[in-house]
Structure 1
Amino acid sequence: MVTDRLWRTLSAFNRSTRSWEPIPLRNVQSQATLRFSPTLRSIDTFWTQRFSLISWNIDAFSPRHVSRAKFILSHILEESKSPDILFLQEVTPEVRASLLDDARVRAAFLVTDAEDQTSFEDVPFATMTLLSSTRFTSGLDSQKEGDGIEGGKKFMLGRVSRVILPSKYRRDALCVDIIPPISPRTVFRLISVHLDSLRDTLHYRAQQMEILANVLREPGCSGGIIAGDFNAISPEDDGLVDKNELVDAWVALHGRDLDGATWGVGVERRDGIGPGRLDKVAMMGLQAKEMEVLRPGTIEVPRPGEKPVEIPWSDHCGLRCTFTI
């Protein structure tokens, strides 16, 4: 089981690019047998913060991937309430460049993997996390703007990491630690995932979920959220969240009877596979309040000598989840 963690740098973007102090390389050994003991540190019982999260697999392989990603981003930022936290999966290097060049992103978000393409090397795509600068602040921001942890309103960003997972496809999990403004010794963890694909990798997904659940149980972590493309394509996959004693936000809010499918929605597949709830949000120590599926629009793809064909922005729907800490 590969459990090393590679610490990365998170860069803050506004009208002029800036970055905060780099985080040193560290190796942290996960404890697969650790059992969770709640250790919330001196937080007022009546203190709560409400956050909105959107997670979307933007589909790296269909035509016009950069244009489709731009439509998804515009839909997220302009046609609906802009989220506090945005998890993106299947981000290609070209899409990464497009995101970093977008004025709306530069003005309003802290963005992972902004300084280099290390996480995008030798893989077809990777994950990225965007955090609203109205809700989160980096160390450098707080020094310049006087918005430190003590007495401030924003959550401070802690360590940023990629957890290297056992994987057929070199998948990892992108983790960002956040620290409440009233409790500088308390850490919650945001984890964006794209678990292994296809039916023959169920054993990898089972290992991946166990590792990530224990990342939320590590000493000093008071809980957090795991969200993204779980590639939950089999009945066995559906049991992995419960098996690892996490809360499936969709099930908690809607029960198991309401569909919630995020993949194969509104299309007929030749292989006969129907829609599935491949994308999920799992929690520990947080409370889900609202959740909905975000359907993609369509984009025209030109075809030489033929009429253009319309395809969805992505083969996945997005998920919007509101939760409280």
Structure 2
Amino acid sequence: MDYLSRFGPFSRPRWHVPVVPMLYPQSQPQPRPKREDEDVFIPPHHSEFGLEDPVEDEEGGFEYEEQDHQRRRVEEAVDYDLEVEEHYEEEEEEAPRHVPPPQQRNMQQEIPWSDVLAQDSTLHKLRPYSYRPSKGNWKHVAISSFPSGRGLYDRDLKRPCTQLRIITWNIDYMSDRHEERLDEALRYIEEDVLRSKEDGEPEPCCILLQEVHAKVLPYLLRNEWIQRWFMVTPIEPRRWPEGQDYGNVTLVARSLDVTECFILHYGPSVMGRTAICVNVKLTFPGTDDKAVVAVVNTHLESLPPGGAVRPKQLDLCSRFLRRTGIHGGVIAGDMNAILPVDATIGKRLELKDSWRKGDIEIGNTWGYQGNDGFPNGRLDKVFYLPGMGYKVDEPKRIGVGLKIRGNSESALWVSDHYGLDTTLRMLKPRSNSS
């Protein structure tokens, strides 16, 4: 049964949790076989609730000194109505220098939509990675796992940031010459959009990319500007749903204080779509007060049949903004808003559209640079949770008319989508004095 028909558009189910051994053990926790390619990391929140570090048992499973962990796992899953699948990561894990792409996935595969609607979504913990010149490789960044946003070792390691630039762009995985198009897109963002300083340092920003092809991901990680100034998550295609040859990638300026990262695999998806959430700590102007806001990078289901699941996918995204300890945030990306019902799904979820002029031509983001016969439209959007002590600027379109190798008629468009550029600005608290 569809989520909206069961609970309504705004309600949160209390105890609709998939029954899996990890959440409801019969007697003792059941050991889970570890895949050969699986990382190892300490489950989130174990230290926050006074739990001992997990100890690997003889059969490869994990046991805990305190049983309270199972109850906390249930509460976390209830927040999302999801099955939480945790990967475990070695502290000294290195990113592979060359990532082979997974097998090709057929976007048009025949899967009954009734089966798609019945699938469970899964939430996976991610780490951001930064490039270490001394190692010549990308290494994961040690961050806090506390939703409240306390920094590593309970200290503030980054300078205060009162505003956050947000760029979202579907960079088109289907067209040829992926590396050339990505290279031009990154050059354009660095020089024309962010207008980075002479040394290349960008202002505090998050760059949300959709349709990043698996074979171009290693090329992105070799970009010198990205290596010097950004954290990246994820850095491997295997973090996307199994079999996907493209997915979302989020770039986070190193000047930002990141507290958590997740990737949500939509259960109701034929096309293996996901949402990446990065929580960052921002400061209210003129104060030392801080808040953690969620920045969600998503790509909703495509085509008219996808209209059956896009509302549920966006609803799941909105829960990142409403978690305990999170002070709202934004959901940005390719919303594939092609049906009349898509124009209202944000409003039904009490989200605000940062574009304030409605669905008029100057707001369209797709259809002008290779549309395959479909009508033009405002497929890409930036939603935010209002009334949380910040404002979000009306986005500007980027990448309009951008081609590789000049502007000749034979040149290839960098993407079939325009991107969007906006800024989230924390507001100075009102004085209580009369």
Q: What TM-score does the superposition give when structure 2 sets the normalisation length?
A: 0.58
Match of 1:288 in 2: 392
> Alpha-carbon deviation of 1:202?
0.5
1:104-124: CA deviation from partner (whole Å, max 9, x where unpaired) = 10001111123x432245102
> Alpha-carbon deviation of 1:258?
6.0
The counterpart of 2:418, out of the listed 307, 313, 317, is 317
Query: CA–CA distance in 1 between the matches of 2:369 and 2:175?
Result: 17
Q: Which runs of 4+ in 1 moved over 6 A?
A: none
Alignment of 1:197-236 (within 5 A): 197-236=302-341
Structure 2 vs 1, CA of residues 324 and 308 (structure 1 numbering), >3 Å: closer, same or farther? Answer: closer
Mind listing any 5+ residue stretches in structure 2 that lack a counterpart? Answer: 1-118, 146-159, 197-201, 427-434
Query: CA–CA distance in 1 between the matches of 2:144 and 2:415?
Result: 34
Query: CA–CA distance in 1 between the matches of 2:344 and 2:332?
Result: 16
> Alpha-carbon deviation of 1:69?
1.0
1:119 and 2:239 aligned: yes
> Alpha-carbon deviation of 1:73?
0.7
Query: CA–CA distance in 2 between the matches of 1:214 and 1:118?
Result: 24
Match of 1:265 in 2: 368
Asked if structure 2 preserves the Cα contact closer than 8 Å seen for 1:15 and 1:103, the reply is no
Alignment of 1:219-258 (within 5 A): 219-251=324-356, 254-257=357-360
Matching residue's letter, 1:54: I
Query: CA–CA distance in 1 between the matches of 2:211 and 2:126?
Result: 19
What percent identity do the matched residue pairs reach? 29
Matching residue's letter, 1:261: N
1:75 and 2:196 aligned: no
1:108-150: CA deviation from partner (whole Å, max 9, x where unpaired) = 1111123x4322451020111111113x1xxxxxxxxxxxxxx
**Secondary structure at the counterpart of residue 422 of structure 2:** strand
1:61 and 2:181 aligned: no
1:32-55: CA deviation from partner (whole Å, max 9, x where unpaired) = xxxxxxxxxxxxxxx981221111
Match of 1:108 in 2: 229
1:196 and 2:301 aligned: yes
Matching residue's letter, 2:192: E
Match of 1:86 in 2: 207
Asked if structure 1 preserves the Cα contact closer than 8 Å seen for 2:369 and 2:415, the reply is no
1:216-244: CA deviation from partner (whole Å, max 9, x where unpaired) = 11222210110010011111111111111
> Alpha-carbon deviation of 1:288?
1.4
Q: Which has the higher contact order (CA 8 A, sep 6+)?
A: 1
Q: What TM-score does the superposition give when structure 1 sets the normalisation length?
A: 0.77
Asked if structure 1 preserves the Cα contact closer than 8 Å seen for 2:336 and 2:380, the reply is yes
- Root-mean-square deviation (Å): 2.7
Query: CA–CA distance in 2 between the matches of 1:169 and 1:290?
Result: 30
Alignment of 1:14-25 (within 5 A): 15-16=133-134, 17-21=138-142
Moved more, 292-301 or 67-76: 292-301
**Secondary structure at the counterpart of residue 299 of structure 1:** coil
1:159 and 2:260 aligned: yes
Question: Number of matched residues?
Answer: 274
**Secondary structure at the counterpart of residue 410 of structure 2:** strand
